[in-house]
Amino acid sequence: MKKALWLTSMSLAGALTLAGCGGNGGDENGNDTNGNNVNAGNDGGEENADASGDDEEIELTFWHIETGYGEEEMESAVDRFEENNPNVTVEVVQHENDPYKTNFNVAMGGGNPPDVFHSWGGGWLQNFVDAGLVRNLTDEIDPDHYLDAALSVATYDDEIYGAPLGMDTVLVWYNERIFDEYGFEEPETYDEFTDIVDTLQGDDIIPLTLANQPQWPGAFYLMYFAERLGGVDLFDEAFTRDGRGFDDEAYVEAGEMIQELVEMNAFPDGFNGMDYDTGQSRQLMYGDRAAMEIMGNWMVGATRDDAPEFEDDLGYFIFPEIEGGEGSNNNIVGGVSPVFSVTEESEHGELAAELVQELTSLETAEAFANADAEISAIHGVEYEDEFTAELAELLEGAEEVQTFYDQTLPSQMAEVHLNTTQALFGLSMTPEEAAQEMEEAAEEYLDGEGADIEDELDDVSDEDVEELEEEMNNNE
């Protein structure tokens, strides 16, 4: 295994011609997408030679965004794959979460994509699937190995283009030391929640820590407010264009509730410019300067990596119910991640698909779940970790799961969603303006033709590729 943070630059003169990429026509070695993989059970495989020959030295590139324990498990899975395929070396490239999508577009547009890559399924992956840039894995993985709800995010027209490893749920995490000091109970209603915010803010403790520079942390608030106010069907109706839209009153009211929290000084100073990846929001909780953070279950793994001594003081509760709203605190915001896919341009598509199998094998899934408090997307996982078992049970007991908007929406519209939500937090846009802008984006990208991923990739320049190469070389 080679660990690297670099990408070879190449001129756009040799870039792929997007219009000529076949959707399911097979890779450059003539391997059809029905595949002849005898190891589709996802339990690893015997030593295997690629179709190009036993003695050929082959290199695959694998991009992911895992950190800490999750990154270690990715490397262990790659090691097992290389042991079973001694003529194959896998270059593992770990990216920070926030610039990943941009980096991936540059690599795709520059004609040098990885063989295996991380995604979240949903609308983002579908853009590349529809452009014929992702390998069809339907006959190369065993669908019965995965939970149906998890596999569905990478299934389009009954064809599978990605293999899921973990599932996520977003909760309100809190500092038990602060809650105990003030005698707080876990709130079940939003009024009880804001009472806690009022008490803490008046006592110079940050009620809700938030690092919203990357935009997606703040989006959790909008998604929860919208569901609690408008019900779990609100987003589906707006997304499928069958019923209420993104300008529905529930979305306007959700924006108002975000801005009410801002005006209550619920968040740290400068929160819209704080970086989540560097732990700026979490450190405030570890140091007893902040009481709560709305974040995914990866909070446990981040805590173990950052400040393991704080784990005993880390509690959680489900986002509370809003009186008079159509939603329920039995519904949660969640998602599926990571999902691993293979690029259609991979010269060794069958081997890349086998790497995906190992990345989502039962051995990988159990280690990944128990090391990083990840809820598994794989059947048969036995949870050793108490936190993970609790979270898996919570997810299984949820009545409905609202998937992350930015993973479900087309990428262009996801950007509008994130930008308008951050603007709501910054008080630079009214709730009505934000809702209207989202509805206009839906009319363009969901009702109409809109821009597609080919347009974005066509815009990749030599300078973009060189900038990515330089950035990744600097982090080598």
Collect all residues with Cβ–Cβ distance below 8 Å to 158 and sequence separation of at least 6. Answer: none
CA pair distance 311, 301, nearest whole angstrom: 9
Collect all residues with Cβ–Cβ distance below 8 Å to 236 and sequence separation of at least 6. Answer: none
Q: Sketch out the chain's domains with CATH numbers.
A: 2-165+337-385+452-474 (3.40.190.10), 168-335+404-429 (3.40.190.10)
> Does pLDDT of 206 surpass 90?
yes
The larger pLDDT score, comparing residue 11 to residue 222, is at 222
378 in Cβ contact with 359 (< 8 Å): no
**CB atoms < 10 A from the CB of 427, how many?**
12
Mean pLDDT computed over 297-304: 90
Token couple for 443: 């009319």
> Does pLDDT of 371 surpass 50?
yes
pLDDT given for residue 119 in this prediction: 92
Which residues are bridge partners to 293 per DSSP? 173
CA pair distance 21, 24, nearest whole angstrom: 9
The larger pLDDT score, comparing residue 173 to residue 15, is at 173
Confidence of residue 60 (pLDDT cuts 50, 70, 90): very high
Give the closest residue to 226 by CA, choosing from 76, 424, 364, 72: 424
Please tell me the pTM assigned to this model.
Answer: 0.71
pLDDT given for residue 359 in this prediction: 98
DSSP single-letter state for residue 378: B
DSSP state letters, 19-71: GG--SSS--TT---TT---TTTTSS--S----TT-SS--EEEEEEE---HHHH
pLDDT given for residue 42 in this prediction: 58
208 in Cβ contact with 325 (< 8 Å): no
Exposure string over 445-466, b if 16+ CB within 10 A, otherwise e: bbeeeeebbbebbeebeeebbe
pLDDT, tens digit, for every residue of 63-119? 999 988 899 999 999 999 999 999 999 999 999 887 888 899 899 988 899 999 999
Q: Among 5-19, 268-282, 356-370, which is the least confidently predicted range?
A: 5-19
The backbone region for 66, taken as left when phi is positive above 0, alpha when psi lies in -120 to 50, beta otherwise, is beta
Collect all residues with Cβ–Cβ distance below 8 Å to 17 and sequence separation of at least 6. Answer: none
DSSP state letters, 244-286: S-TTSHHHHHHHHHHHHHHHTT-S-TTGGG--TTTTHHHHHHH
CA pair distance 204, 266, nearest whole angstrom: 10
> Does pLDDT of 30 surpass 80?
no
**CB atoms < 10 A from the CB of 55, how many?**
7
**CB atoms < 10 A from the CB of 441, how many?**
22
CA pair distance 111, 222, nearest whole angstrom: 37
Token couple for 305: 């990596």
> Does pLDDT of 309 surpass 80?
yes
CA pair distance 91, 4, nearest whole angstrom: 7
Confidence of residue 457 (pLDDT cuts 50, 70, 90): confident
> Does pLDDT of 53 surpass 60?
no
DSSP state letters, 135-163: ---TTTS-GGGB-HHHHGGGEETTEE--E
331 in Cβ contact with 399 (< 8 Å): yes
